[in-house]
Structure 1
Amino acid sequence: MSIQEHLVELKARHRELEEEIADALAHPSSDDIKIAELKRRKLQLKDEIARMQSSTSIH
């Protein structure tokens, strides 16, 4: 898998997490711990995307 393909996959997963977080926040019975975990995973993906983009722009 190329770096570009991997970036596309990471961005897709990031969007999926955004949607899952929005759905969870829309329901008052959502578990706060689950939402926090989703947000943490989303941030990790964002950081990984940023690292990959910065490393590809250097080369």
Structure 2
Amino acid sequence: MSLTSHLQELKKKHQNLATTVEEMQRSPGTDDLHVAALKKQKLRIKEEISRLSAEAT
């Protein structure tokens, strides 16, 4: 897998997580621990995107 396609996949996963977190936060009775875990996963992906982007330049 090329670096560009890997970055695209990570960005897609990040966006999907962002959408999921937003939807979960809007609905009542959402498990806060699950939302927090998704936010941490989203942050790790964002950091990986930043690291890979820096390496590419």
TM-score between both structures, scaled by the size of structure 1:
0.95
TM-align CA RMSD: 0.4
Which structure 1 residue ranges, 4+ long, deviate > 2 Å from structure 2? none
Counterparts of 1:1-59 in structure 2 under 5 Å? Answer: 1-57=1-57
TM-score between both structures, scaled by the size of structure 2:
0.98
- Long gaps (5+) in structure 2: none
- Long gaps (5+) in structure 1: none
Higher relative contact order (CA 8 A, sep 6+): 2
